[in-house]
């Protein structure tokens, strides 16, 4: 039997509440390493040492890869990094590629979580992140302003206090993958508000809004000069 777009839309509409429940279970659980790390004072030198493990994938500058294999981490909010790292270690967020590198045996305990999060947050951001095709930006802007501004802000700056990530300057292909996983119930630590907000987004909507987001620029003071190399690893 051929499944039409109308039938698929109906199936997704009925499935959305189930997917949302699965995807949002434990969105921001308190306790454990997250709370412990949040209460610590960062050690810059240990942050550098800890980040060296992370740099194997996220690159020495913290800029990830434009193909979206690895996200840009540079400039991200401290609380967001702590939450995501703690969630991966607690297996509340599925990331089999990162998990072996994030274990305490590799990078240390809650102190190292705080140290590396604080270090990453101070790295200047990529001046040339990967962007989308640019063919539906008017729709993307409308969708962003109607659905995303309340949490992610006018320019994609997010909120450290509320654990909302910066999404400006992020690679388009990474944004697409995470949006798909959140919308389709694959990312278990997703914010339930976002799951509900984007449940009805079509693939066209998704591509348009994330193309627009990928072109949002952080404040100029947060962006590195072209050709910048992290001096902490410039051996």
Annotated binding site: 54, 57-58, 98, 148, 151-152
Locus of tokens 């987001």: 213
Residue tagged 């995501």 (tokens): 84
Given a contact cutoff of 8 angstroms between Cβ atoms, the answer to whether 193 and 152 are in contact is no
For 125, phi then psi, to 5°, come to -90, 160
Q: Annotated binding residues for heme c, as ranges?
A: 54, 57-58, 98, 148, 151-152
∠ Cα 227 229 232 (to 5°): 170
* DSSP H or E segment with residue 10: helix 5-24
C-alpha distances out from residue 209 to 12, 68, 80, 99, Å: 20, 16, 22, 30
């Amino acid at each position: 039997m051929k499944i039409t777009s109308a039938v698929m839309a109906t199936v997704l509409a009925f499935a959305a509440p189930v997917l949302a429940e699965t995807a949002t279970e434990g969105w921001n659980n308190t306790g454990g390493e997250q709370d412990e790390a949040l209460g610590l004072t960062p050690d810059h030198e240990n942050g550098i040492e800890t980040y060296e493990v992370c740099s194997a994938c996220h690159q020495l500058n913290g800029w990830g890869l434009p193909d979206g294999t690895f996200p840009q981490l540079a400039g991200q909010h401290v609380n967001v990094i702590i939450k995501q790292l703690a969630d991966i270690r607690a297996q509340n967020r599925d990331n089999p590629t990162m998990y072996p590198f994030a274990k305490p045996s590799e990078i240390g305990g809650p102190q190292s979580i705080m140290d590396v999060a604080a270090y990453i947050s101070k790295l200047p951001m990529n001046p040339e992140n990967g962007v989308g095709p640019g063919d539906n930006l008017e729709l993307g802007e409308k969708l962003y302003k109607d659905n995303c501004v309340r949490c992610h802000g006018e320019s994609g700056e997010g909120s450290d206090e509320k654990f909302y990530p910066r999404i400006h300057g992020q690679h388009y292909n990474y944004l697409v993958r995470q949006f798909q996983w959140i919308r389709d119930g694959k990312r278990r630590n997703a914010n339930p508000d976002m799951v509900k907000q984007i449940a009805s987004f079509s693939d066209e909507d998704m591509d348009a809004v994330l193309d627009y987001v990928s072109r949002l620029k952080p404040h100029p003071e947060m962006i590195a000069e072209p050709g910048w190399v992290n001096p902490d690893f410039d051996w």
